[in-house]
A and B are shown apart, each in its own frame.
Chain A
Amino acid sequence: MRRGIPAAAVTLGLVLALTACSGSGDDSTGGATSETTAGGGASEDALVIWVDETRQAAVESAAQAFEDENDVAVEVVLKNFEDIRTDFLAQVPTGEGPDLTVGAHDWLGELTTNGVVAPIELGDTAGEFLPIAIEAFTEDGQVYGLPYAIENVALIRNTALATEAPSTWDAAVAAGQAAGTPYQVLIQTGTEGDPYTYYPLQTSFGAPVFVQNEDGTYTSELAMGGAPGQAFATWLQAQGQAGTLSTDITYDIAVEAFKNGESPFIIGGPWMIEQFEGLELSIDPVPSAGGEPAQPFVGVQGFYVSAQSDNALLANDFLVNYVATDEVQLALYEAGNRPPALASAAEEASADPITAGFLAVGEDALPMPSIPEMGSVWAFWGVTEANILSGAAEPVAAWDKMIADIQAAIGS
């Protein structure tokens, strides 16, 4: 949802929507067919893991080693990443879900509220991970997932067009103008906005989304209202009027333009890098627009254990003793291009300056809130930003209304 929307993802969203609309029927009609997978003899004691395409190969090779050593069967089930969360929520209570699934840390609030994940006791292994990775998977003092990769946006710079990293937004725009390219800075936006990618710019105005407790966990109290938020909104309007940022720039358009050298800068994540082959890149911190540090969201990918798993022992063993190794973490890094969450593996991956750059930016970043209230924020946030950018809404009034709407949605 927040990283541009390739056609496939939208298609999946649709399929998901349609199955959700008629989902009730699947229970009954699927009853006769699902037992072929759920009760197919071997899978009864096999460890079932849900993975998506990018992680399939890496997880399968880890599973192979685990199978050989423990003489157990591991079944790696390929699923679309977009489907995993909904299917996991729906299937774990029926007893037909997997033992393990890959997932993102910001699902955590929803998964615990519905009681479908079990905590993991990492023991002394916890210290071997990057602190932010463990922090992201922690709720109420319990760790609920084994992290394997962290991801965050940063400023990707085409060094042929801009020799120095800009320290402020205005410097970046000036450098873009000096480069003489059609765009000064590219940020994917779209008519529904992209608050995830815009977040570092917003935090540079001192307007993080939720108030944080002292230990770094989020409360459900909104922090992006008031003067800092309004200042950000006003700034957005100015950028829209100046034509620096536009809602017409979708993910595809932004990536294509940067690839063709039409801008020295793009704000984006490691998932874009593959498409920029042949360009000399440098990864820098996002320039501050409001004076304060520009902190992006950090997303952490990891594995969750089902609360209804019959193979809890195997599942935990697999995670703590196989996935939490340099070998597997590096294999997952190769597959997904995101920096590993295990500190030693991350260090090894940092040999690549791009990975090192993203890691360095991530060090100052904050985990994306995983509290269930976050779900109510997205729907209003992006559209409001897009409307301010396009000039359809007055910045301060629209921002204040957004805060009120989110508060009403959280309260309901």
Chain B
Amino acid sequence: MPTQPTLTGDATGPTGTPGGTSGPPASPTRDRQGPSRGPVRPGTLVKIALMAVINALGVFGILAAWREGHMGILASMVVLLVVADWVYFSRRTLPLKYVLPGLAFLLVFQVYVVGYTGWVAFTNYGDGHNSTKEQAVEALLIQNERRVEGSATYPLTVVERGGALGFAIVDDGEAQVGTADDPLSPEPDATVDDDRVTEVPGATVLSRQEVLQRQAEVTSLRVPFSDDPNDGWVRTQDARTGFVAVPSLEWDPEADTMTDVVTGTVYHATSDGSFRSDDGERLNVGWRVMVGFDNFRTAFGDERYAQPFVKILLWTFAFAILSVVSTFLLGLFLAITFNDTRVRGRRLYRTLLIFPYAIPGFLAALLWSGMLNRSYGFVNQVLLGGAAVPWLTDPWLAKASVLGVNLWLGFPYMFLICTGALQSLPGDVLEAAKVDGAGAWRTWRSVTLPLLLVATTPLLISSFAFNFNNFTLIYMLTRGGPRFADASVPLGHTDILISMVYSVSGLDGTAAKNYGLASALSIVIFVIVATISAITFKRTKQFEEIS
């Protein structure tokens, strides 16, 4: 036992009470060690109140996730809640106290989304593979239970007999009663009123309310029509009328097969998430499975996509770079102009310039697409005196229109940030340049512009990333049109990568949906944008160091 003496020594050491008389001196020591034990500060109260709210919300979320059966959400909420409590009640986590909220939002809104997209990219999620296998089986079974052709419908009453639910129907004026295990048989003693069974000896007739409370049981109840299983069974969908139905597919969970009752064809569950017969026939409802790199292979390997993909990639870069450059140059020019104190009415001009910025982007793009209509658009009709210029239907003019509209939409933003940057330039540097004898051009090129770029480059990069994915503009203005004349996919000259993802994946309703492929393409775009941003930011840093 070498540790025990040390431990006790340690424990008693700081208190400074050798001999173990630890009564009175202990309390001053504790006070010294824990200043929070003093009078409670208002900040602490606020903290406790806030944490109570956060904990209440967290527990509520956990319970909700539990009830909905979302175990992933439940687990992550528990972890987040425990971490939050630990961080804000522990004394050793000072930096985390500031970082945690941002970190939590980053996890939920960014990392999770990227992660989920990544996961979907490796599945076949899309039309025909929409859900889990259990639901696919269920859907196939309900789709393939047929009413016996030409059979009658029967007025139906739900009864309970011997603890089991059953149906009482009226067939040719005669009452028949049966349960799931007990085929329908005549019940001459039952009371039939107005074509409907109202009383059955030895059984209770369920009221409408009771039926509604047990509707899951009632809708899944199948009462054999007779001793012969081939006669089918009676079922109901509204608990008012019954009909005779037979299944045409049978599910064998042991063998993992579906069997067509009529033809005898056996469909096996396959690894691609569907039931397939030996000669390749497929049942229409499938389920989600992992497909590895198949989606990436389609994105790059399918020759129908490969050629348009390259064109679209190039145009996406051209569009993003030209948009940033053109808006920046125009914004900068106007900022310099209106920064000059000799310009009169600067405030008015500046206010007017913000206008395009104040109009929602998608609305503006939509308006422009109307104004650029070849025959009826404002531009052709009024400004060009009726010239039928095909602004949006000629490949090159459409590209020019896209860039022009984006310039109109984007320059006020650049104007704003350039004005801000210009006004925050240190006056003494400019003064010094003047003293050194630099002319206006020289000052601008060697002093103003570098300083301005230091301030605006991060915004230019984010503007590039934004325009790289500027779906709104493309979709509202041209919808990617005019179409490539030589491609066999619905893509066009002004499509950028993100609008290509949109139409290739069928999200616009013009093709079968394919979320897996869409996610794979999104991942590719993400990688491109992330790489470019990383490289540019690195170079900006060098730039900053130089200046």
Task: Tell yes or no: B243 within 8 A of A by CB.
Answer: yes
Would you call A404 and B67 a contact (CB within 8 A)? no
Output the least CB separation between A364 and chain B (Å): 28
Would you call B215 and A313 a contact (CB within 8 A)? yes
Would you call A25 and B116 a contact (CB within 8 A)? yes
Would you call B215 and A314 a contact (CB within 8 A)? yes
Would you call B472 and A14 a contact (CB within 8 A)? yes
Would you call B64 and A121 a contact (CB within 8 A)? no
Would you call B475 and A14 a contact (CB within 8 A)? yes
What are the interface flags for A111-153 relative to B under an 8 Å C-beta threshold, 1 for contact and 0 otherwise?
Answer: 0111110111101100000000000000011100000000000
Other-chain contact of A119, B67, B136, B143, B490 (Cβ < 8 Å): B143
A408 vs B488: C-alpha distance in the bound complex, in angstroms?
8
Task: Tell yes or no: B6 within 8 A of A by CB.
Answer: no
Given A191-B481, A307-B139, residue A39 in contact with residue B392 (CB < 8 A): no
Task: Tell yes or no: A301 within 8 A of B by CB.
Answer: no
Task: Tell yes or no: B181 within 8 A of A by CB.
Answer: no
> Within B456-489, which residues are at the interface with A (CB < 8 Å)?
471-472, 475-476, 479, 481-483, 485, 488-489
Would you call A114 and B130 a contact (CB within 8 A)? yes
Task: Tell yes or no: B441 within 8 A of A by CB.
Answer: no
* Residues in A neighbouring B135, C-beta threshold 8 A: 93, 115, 307-308
Task: Tell yes or no: B511 within 8 A of A by CB.
Answer: yes
Other-chain contact of A27, B67, B116, B238, B302 (Cβ < 8 Å): B116
Task: Tell yes or no: A336 within 8 A of B by CB.
Answer: no
* Residues in B neighbouring A321, C-beta threshold 8 A: 238, 240
What are the interface flags for A10-38 relative to B under an 8 Å C-beta threshold, 1 for contact and 0 otherwise?
Answer: 11011011101110110111011011101
Task: Tell yes or no: B510 within 8 A of A by CB.
Answer: yes
Would you call B142 and A31 a contact (CB within 8 A)? no
Q: Which among B7-15, B46-54, B346-354, B373-381 touches the partner chain?
A: B373-381
Task: Tell yes or no: A70 within 8 A of B by CB.
Answer: yes
Would you call A31 and B215 a contact (CB within 8 A)? no
A140 vs B140: C-alpha distance in the bound complex, in angstroms?
13
Would you call B510 and A379 a contact (CB within 8 A)? yes
Interface size range on A against B: 35 or more
In the complex, how many residues of chain B place their beta carbon closer than 8 angstroms to a beta carbon of chain A?
Answer: 88
Would you call A191 and B392 a contact (CB within 8 A)? yes
Given A191-B392, A392-B482, A404-B488, residue A24 in contact with residue B285 (CB < 8 A): no
Output the least CB separation between A393 and chain B (Å): 7
Given A112-B285, A142-B143, A393-B485, residue A7 in contact with residue B215 (CB < 8 A): no
Task: Tell yes or no: B117 within 8 A of A by CB.
Answer: yes
Given A113-B128, A115-B130, A115-B135, residue A24 in contact with residue B64 (CB < 8 A): no
Which secondary structure dominates chain A's binding surface?
A: helix
Q: Write the chain A residue with the least CB distance to B237.
A: A316
Output the least CB separation between A131 and chain B (Å): 17
A116 vs B502: C-alpha distance in the bound complex, in angstroms?
23
Task: Tell yes or no: B506 within 8 A of A by CB.
Answer: yes
What are the interface flags for A290-332 relative to B under an 8 Å C-beta threshold, 1 for contact and 0 otherwise?
Answer: 0000000000000000011011111011001100000000000
Task: Tell yes or no: A269 within 8 A of B by CB.
Answer: no
Would you call A141 and B146 a contact (CB within 8 A)? yes
Would you call B139 and A116 a contact (CB within 8 A)? yes
What are the interface flags for B42-67 relative to A under an 8 Å C-beta threshold, 1 for contact and 0 otherwise?
Answer: 00000000000000010001001101
* Residues in B neighbouring A7, C-beta threshold 8 A: 363, 366
Task: Tell yes or no: A228 within 8 A of B by CB.
Answer: no
Would you call B116 and A93 a contact (CB within 8 A)? no
Would you call B483 and A387 a contact (CB within 8 A)? yes
Would you call A316 and B238 a contact (CB within 8 A)? yes
Task: Tell yes or no: A110 within 8 A of B by CB.
Answer: yes
Would you call A123 and B130 a contact (CB within 8 A)? no
Other-chain contact of A320, B65, B238, B304, B511 (Cβ < 8 Å): B238
* Residues in B neighbouring A380, C-beta threshold 8 A: 490
Task: Tell yes or no: A250 within 8 A of B by CB.
Answer: yes
What are the interface flags for B102-117 relative to A under an 8 Å C-beta threshold, 1 for contact and 0 otherwise?
Answer: 0000001100110011
Would you call B237 and A112 a contact (CB within 8 A)? no
Other-chain contact of A25, B64, B109, B127, B284 (Cβ < 8 Å): B109
Given A72-B212, A115-B143, A313-B218, residue A25 in contact with residue B113 (CB < 8 A): yes
> Within B32-86, which residues are at the interface with A (CB < 8 Å)?
57, 61, 64-65, 67-68, 70, 72-73, 76-77
Task: Tell yes or no: A246 within 8 A of B by CB.
Answer: yes
Other-chain contact of A70, B131, B143, B212, B392 (Cβ < 8 Å): B212
Would you call A113 and B127 a contact (CB within 8 A)? yes
Would you call A21 and B143 a contact (CB within 8 A)? no
A7 vs B368: C-alpha distance in the bound complex, in angstroms?
13
Output the least CB separation between A201 and chain B (Å): 21
A311 vs B239: C-alpha distance in the bound complex, in angstroms?
12
Task: Tell yes or no: B165 within 8 A of A by CB.
Answer: no
> Within A79-119, which residues are at the interface with B (CB < 8 Å)?
85-86, 89, 93, 95-96, 110, 112-116, 118-119
Output the least CB separation between B100 and chain A (Å): 17
Would you call A372 and B64 a contact (CB within 8 A)? no
Q: Write the chain A residue with the least CB distance to B115.
A: A24
Would you call B113 and A191 a contact (CB within 8 A)? no
Would you call B146 and A39 a contact (CB within 8 A)? no
- 26 contacts across the A-B interface (CB closer than 8 A): A18-B471, A24-B113, A24-B116, A35-B61, A35-B64, A35-B67, A110-B127, A112-B285, A114-B285, A115-B138, A116-B130, A118-B142, A119-B142, A121-B237, A123-B243, A191-B481, A247-B374, A307-B139, A308-B135, A312-B219, A313-B237, A316-B237, A375-B511, A383-B483, A404-B488, A408-B304
Q: Give me the interface of A with B, judged by CB distance under 8 Å.
A: 1, 7, 10-11, 13-14, 16-18, 20-22, 24-25, 27-29, 31-32, 34-36, 38-39, 70-72, 85-86, 89, 93, 95-96, 110, 112-116, 118-121, 123-124, 140-142, 191-192, 246-248, 250, 253, 307-308, 310-314, 316-317, 320-321, 372, 375-376, 378-380, 383, 387, 390, 392-393, 401, 404-405, 408-409, 412
